[in-house]
Structure 1
Amino acid sequence: MLVRLQLAGAPGVSEALFILRLETLAAERGRLGAENLVYTCSVCHKEYRSSKAHAQHLRSKLHIQKASIWSKSSSGPITVTKPVPHGVVENSDEGLTSAPYSDCNVNSSDEWEEVNDDDDVLSLNSDELDGIDQGQRVEAGISNHEDLDYWNATQCFFCDSIPDGSIGGCVQHMHQQHGFFLPDAEYLSDPQGLLSYLGMKVTKDFMCLYCEGHGKQFSSLEAVRKHMISKSHCKLRYGDEDQEEGLDNFYDFTSSYLPEEDAQLVSEEEFTASLVSLSASGEELIIKHAAGRKQGIKTVGAREFLKYYKQKPRPSDMYDGTLVNSLVSRYRRMGLSTKQTRDGFCNRKETKKAAHYQAHMMRMKLGIKNNILKNLPRNVLY
């Protein structure tokens, strides 16, 4: 080395310059060692190779929410720092995979990515969101309506708010804030199922509850919500037979039928014939039985079809009298009518038929009059 310096005419290296060179190399080695660290978040179970990305993750809203819950149950450090194992590089898609160390360029700026709050939220999986309730999901900006196959009955499907975590509070909120009202609440047999059904129609099918396919089609949840709020369509089209087909499963009007004292006397043979009948296939026996004012139906099948009957479980009783009574009491405290009058309920179809008949007669009279005027001779003046 000294001979080469002399041949090149370069001056010799002094002791001070040599020590300065050693310190520079040591500082550069320390900087490279600091960059080859893995920053692990103990709360979210995430690893970062960049201190800036890790610091930005610590400032995200979702991390702060999870850290507040995590601090109550654990006292360990939130951030754990450890060196990168030799021969391991980071792959953004597959995590940490083995690769030759020579292929890793520490100073390359293309390897690192800036992480913002939106990317941090979108990178979460279902396991990391188990400890977050629905309210925190809404605050974090996670829209998962399209991924759900059910709707939380305690959540408003007009604004995604959860008033107090109960169905009664949700119904009261929807009436006070949006004017939504469940008609004939005293005849409800499954209020929770009805709210879930309506929530899925709005949030998943993007369908207006009042128009219900007869009006404009919507392509997003925000569009259908703006339409219902601006047009005051936060209500059900109740009274239309076509629209009521999907609501029949959630109502039970047997208590509004004629009482027992108004029943007619029939013979025992007619009574037995009306209660026992064969199914359409002829393989099952249908028995109707009366329990008080309610009427139930039982189906009796042959023993040879037992293996097929076991494949179809018996439907569970979805009637919840306590929940229905709480909804009715809330509506009454708000001064709303929860039950239609018997005359109006029984004569609703007759009134509709009479209106159709009157309209038909009016059109027929106008048609006859126009036909007479068109076919009169020209010399007739009257």
Structure 2
Amino acid sequence: MSSPYQGALTCVTCQIVFETGDAHREHYKTDWHRYNLKRKIINLLPVDRPTFESRILNQQIKENEENSKSSIYCTICKKSYNSQKSFDSHTSSKQHKTLALQSDNEHKDIGVPAAKKIVKPVENKLVEESDDEYEDVDDDEEWGEVVSENNPIVNNICLFCPQSSENLLQNIKHMSDTHSFFIPDIEYLVDMKGLLVYLGEKVCQGFMCLWCNDSGKNFHSIESAQAHMIDKGHTKMIHEGEALLEYSDFYDYSSSYPADTSVDDYRIVEDVNSQLILPSGTRIGKRSLMRYYRQNLNPNHDWEAMKETKLNKVINHYRHVGWTGTFPAAAARKARDLKVMRQVQTKMYMQLGVKANKFQKHFRQQVNF
């Protein structure tokens, strides 16, 4: 008897199953998924979504209590921040640095933190922000709550040495030129920033070698782990065997599947839980999401296109230094291996769920209403 989840899309880290490919891809962008990735590095079990949301709510309540009396204001960008952490992330953004160079405040008060002052709490209101500010938030502040402060990638620092770069692309170029570090199967990568941040967590929190992984020597500091990788020539990322399953959340090998598979069927209906797509192409959304449909967002910003452009820049740099790409046969082999491992894991999850159901000795209504 086959599993009811046979061939279904699953998240290995969060241990959940998806009905559509779009829901599967959108899940990878959530803070819940990234939080479980961080727990996975230190060998902790994942938490379910209600538990994660309750922890976030408790953390927000705690931060609101600490910042209820004052906030930090940036005189250059004319924006206020409720915590020192968010303000520090803002000051390191490209938008703030550009405006700081154009501002006269730096010339008037040299040596004085003119970008910071205490202001009274203001009422909640809608504020129109430029598109560049949203771009910087996506690059610099998105990972603030789920990633360690000393993560080298978030701080634009090399994974293998203390070298600092201006941005993520320059950091990737440094690692490839200096340490010969190349992201494997980059053509099938769907979350480049997420993968690099995950590698940064393994180095700065787990003190792990990216090539030895769990099977190698244990280190007690980030410096000793980096020295090992440089001395042994392990400035590379293992992406075979069990490591395929570990990094599967960041890759999509569907383009390497044979043409007769039904993987592309998941792309026919987009976001089936919130939209209905008619044969004419018209989209009908839920009434409960009307507040989001009415938002006046910039239609010219295509975030996926921006991420794809950044990925293409990395690919072009790799080709410039002699990288020839991934062979289709090798990618198809990895896709088959990954599919088998996911099927085995799904079967184990089902057996574990059946075993857990046997612990229930009495009937309990499985609804909340």
Give TM class, smaller chain.
0.3 to 0.5
Structure number with higher strand proportion? 1
Name the larger-Rg structure: 1
TM-score of the superposition, structure 2-length normalised? 0.41
TM-score of the superposition, structure 1-length normalised? 0.40
